[in-house]
Amino acid sequence: MSYQHELNRIPAVFPISLPSKVTRSINYAARNLNSAFPSMGERHPDPKTFAFALDCAKEQMDLILSKNDWLGYILANVENESIDAVYIRGLPRFKGVDSSKLHRIVGLMIGRTIGNIFQYQQQNHGVLQPALSPEPDGPANSNSTPDDFLGHTDDAYFIKKYRCRNIALYGEINQCGAATGYAHSESIIQHMNDRHVHQLFKSDYLFKLPASFGDIPGIPEWSERRSILHESTNGDVHIEVPTYNTEVCAGADGLALEAFEQLKKAIDSTIQWFVVTGSTYLMFNNNRGVHAREAIPYGNRRVYRSYWTDNESLQNMRTICGTEGHVFDATRFLEETANYQAQNS
């Protein structure tokens, strides 16, 4: 395939500093939404009012974007996947009893402009925007580990339509300044030779079911044979790989392991780091790049994490699970993934 398409793209990570008038507008809108919909920013919003609350959040954000065309343009390009990541500085920084709710409401205001929020029941107790913090005994390569969280895409075990397109992190506190990294597929490819890149398009790899989903009866621990790189329908290169949970499948030649080792080096060489702390928001495309997080050796760190997908995928998830709303039983997606893999292996 030609990589020219990749070279013509807008730079993958777009940094934005909001002017204070935009910060004030967002702050004002979030407080109004919190008054109108008191459960909107809770860990489990009231499903009866949530859909309407989301519509109002979008309306409020559209009003703000109508006066700030450039911000709307950037978010529209995040939605259409021309921009892989956006790092926003200058968002409101809330304190006091309602701070968690207000952070979550701003998260919904921004995210709703690019897609639909969802969560798996099995993760973070089904909280739509969990507050992620380190725990002393947090498992390796998980959101709760205080150690380095190595490069990965989220939930690579699932076929694409059952995992998130975008991941958003809204910072509240980050005392040690631990950075979050994003390496986009364009840069990774440019740092590898063609032989290794072509190898990564081959279905010679297995991905392990994320530990956060636990042991689900009937679901194998390892996926069927998968490739790490894919060409999407519009010609973009997509990537899926948990670097700490990937194995070369039996029967693959030595080039498969060699290419995987080179991939990890290319990720290390190209990753860009951003400190997600109070007033900052990092949103990145989970299909277009690998993310990682530095160790948290001391102090508090709290970010609100959310998963976003497009309209069609949300409707598909609702149909598969036979439910409305935004929180889904991942067992159904895992069963569908197993069916898909059985039919295509």
CA 285 – CA 277 distance, rounded (Å): 20
> How many residues bind to Fe ion according to rule CB under 5 A?
1
Span from 85-93, 94-102, 148-156, 170-178 in contact with Fe ion (CB under 5 A): 148-156
Contact status, residue 177 vs residue 275, Cβ threshold 8 Å: yes
CA distance 92 to 83: 24
Number of H helices, E strands in the chain: 10, 16
Q: CB of 166: closest distance to Fe ion in angstroms?
A: 12
Least distance (Å) from Fe ion to the CB of residue 283? 13
Question: Residue 291 CB, nearest distance to Fe ion (Å)?
Answer: 6
Closest to Fe ion by CB, 50 or 158: 158
Minimum distance, C-beta of residue 188 to Fe ion, in the bound complex (Å): 17
Q: Is 124 left (phi over 0), alpha (psi -120 to 50) or beta?
A: left
Residues sharing a CB contact under 8 Å with residue 139, sequence separation 6 or more, in sequence order: 145, 211
Rank residues 154 and 172 by Cβ distance to Fe ion and give the closer one: 154
| Among residues 154, 186, 240, 336, the one that binds Fe ion under rule CB under 5 A | 154
Query: Which of the stretches 133-141, 153-161, 195-203, 246-254 binds Fe ion when contact is defined by CB under 5 A?
Result: 153-161
Which residue's C-beta sits nearest to Fe ion? 154
* CB-nearer residue toward Fe ion: 100 or 143: 143
> What is the closest distance, in whole angstroms, from the C-beta atom of residue 154 to Fe ion in the complex?
4
* 104/125 Cα distance (integer angstroms): 16
Task: Say which residues have a Cβ less than 8 Å from residue 224's Cβ, sequence separation at least 6.
Answer: 206, 341, 342, 345
From 3-11, 150-158, 200-208, 211-219, give the range in contact with Fe ion by CB under 5 A. 150-158
**Shortest reach from residue 55's CB to Fe ion, in Å:** 29
| From 125-133, 152-160, 194-202, 209-217, span contacting Fe ion (CB under 5 A) | 152-160
Q: Is the dihedral of CA 106, 112, 115, 118 positive or negative?
A: positive
Q: Residue 170 and residue 283: Cα distance in Å, rounded?
A: 8
Q: Binding to Fe ion by residue 155, rule CB under 5 A?
A: no
Chain-centroid distance, C-alpha 206: 21
Residues making contact with Fe ion (CB under 5 A): 154
